[in-house]
């Protein structure tokens, strides 16, 4: 998953977004059973990874919410929220369903206007392709149905 983030956001992350001071380094393997902690704040979500690094995205920089349900590898049968910030902000985070405070984070993103809750629930429950459940400024199926 960390290499996915590197491809998505680039290798040169700012030091202020990591606790180790080695921005963008994915050298340390992350144990799929180790704790991830999602900290929700009024202006941002911060995810503390088991390897000591942290990822974050400010709510006003959030552009896309993707749900992924892995079906292979050490993360098999694990669901994730992928929060993608604006390209300019270079912010984003990936949060597994077993993370501390995942339910609160899921509740927070479900409250985004136009969030497609039905597609989110379907993807959380069943392995398959990534599902974009929300994009800033775009209409979703839930928005079109008036949900």
Instruction: Find residue 98's DSSP bridge partners.
Output: none
Q: How far apart are CA 139 and CA 111, in angstroms?
A: 15
What residues make up the domain containing 13? 2-145
Contact 81, 109 (CB under 8 A): yes
The number of residues in the chain equals 147
Three-state secondary-structure class, residue 109: helix
- For the chain, the domain total comes to 1
- Looking at per-residue pLDDT, the higher value among 1 and 57 belongs to 57
> What does the longest C-alpha to C-alpha distance in the chain come to?
46
Tokens representing 97 are: 């369903």
pTM above 0.75, yes or no: no
- Band of residue 115 on the pLDDT scale cut at 50, 70, 90: very high
C-alpha–C-alpha distance, residues 46 and 41, integer Å:
8
Token reading at 128? 């398959």
**pLDDT mean over 103-127:** 95
pLDDT of residue 30: 58
pLDDT for 59-75, tens place per residue?
Answer: 999 999 999 997 765 55
């Amino acid at each position: 998953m960390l290499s996915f983030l590197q491809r998505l956001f680039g290798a040169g992350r700012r030091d202020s977004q990591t606790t180790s001071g080695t921005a963008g380094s994915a050298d340390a393997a992350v144990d799929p059973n180790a704790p991830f902690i999602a900290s929700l704040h009024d202006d941002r979500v911060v995810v503390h990874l088991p390897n000591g690094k942290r990822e974050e995205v400010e709510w006003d920089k959030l552009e896309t919410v993707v749900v992924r349900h892995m079906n292979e590898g050490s993360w098999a049968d694990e669901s994730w929220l992928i929060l993608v910030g604006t390209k300019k902000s270079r912010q984003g985070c990936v949060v597994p369903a077993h993370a501390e405070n995942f339910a609160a984070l899921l509740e927070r993103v479900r409250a985004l206007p136009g969030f497609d809750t039905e597609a989110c629930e379907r993807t959380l429950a069943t392995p398959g392709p990534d599902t974009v459940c929300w994009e800033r400024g775009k209409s979703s199926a839930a928005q079109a149905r008036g949900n």
